[in-house]
Amino acid sequence: MVTVKEILETMDYGPGAETPAEVRAWLAAHGRFGPFIAGALTAPGVTRAVQNPATGAVLAEVAQGSADDIAAALAAARAAQPGWAALPDQARAEALHALARQLQKRASFLAGLATLDTGTPIRESRDPDLAQAVRAFHHAAGRAALRDMDHPGRAPHAVTGVVLAPALPLMGFATAIAPVLAAGGTVVVVPAPEAPLTALALAEICAEAGL
């Protein structure tokens, strides 16, 4: 009779829910990534290779970014801000809730991409990274709905610049931009050079959600 000890010694992990197929298809479809400005990826200039830190494999070519790119991003953010700030607080709250739900729908893709981008285990990409990102947008949506009550007569900063760290790229992106968007501001995000792909994917999802 097989003992419990023998069963435990011979057990192996089953396949995870996340597979790299969708992520690799997304990377292949884009090829080379330019800066994401005014709701779309722009043509890349000088690029560099982005590698999976766990394996050293090249994942994609990403634009280095230039002073002109920064100026264009700032101009786009400044142009978008008055319209975003003019929305009723509840409308901004609904947009942030919609974005959080979109992240949940793309959970497998985002967790898989974050794992390739940073080399972290898939479990860490799912929770806390993705889970906290979703919570950040839901929380910011609640704050957006109460903005006028909590901060009457206050105006948002027009544009906020954010430089992300490479660790926990999903949570880092969300916790950096969600409060700014809730207040009616807009954001220019500079992703970490070590892990830019996750931020680019999140920017696409923000655009798909109507932000």
pTM of the predicted model, to two decimals?
0.88
Beta bridge mates, 120: none
Summarised one tens digit per residue, pLDDT across range 35-50 is: 999 999 999 989 999 9
Res. 8 pLDDT band, cuts 50 70 90:
confident
39, 69 contact by CB (below 8 A): no
Omega prior to 179 cis, within 30 of 0: no
What's the pLDDT tens digit per position in 108-151? 999 999 999 999 998 889 889 999 999 999 999 999 998 888 77
Q: Determine the distance from the C-alpha atom of residue 32 to the mean position of all C-alpha atoms in its chain, rounded to a whole number.
A: 18
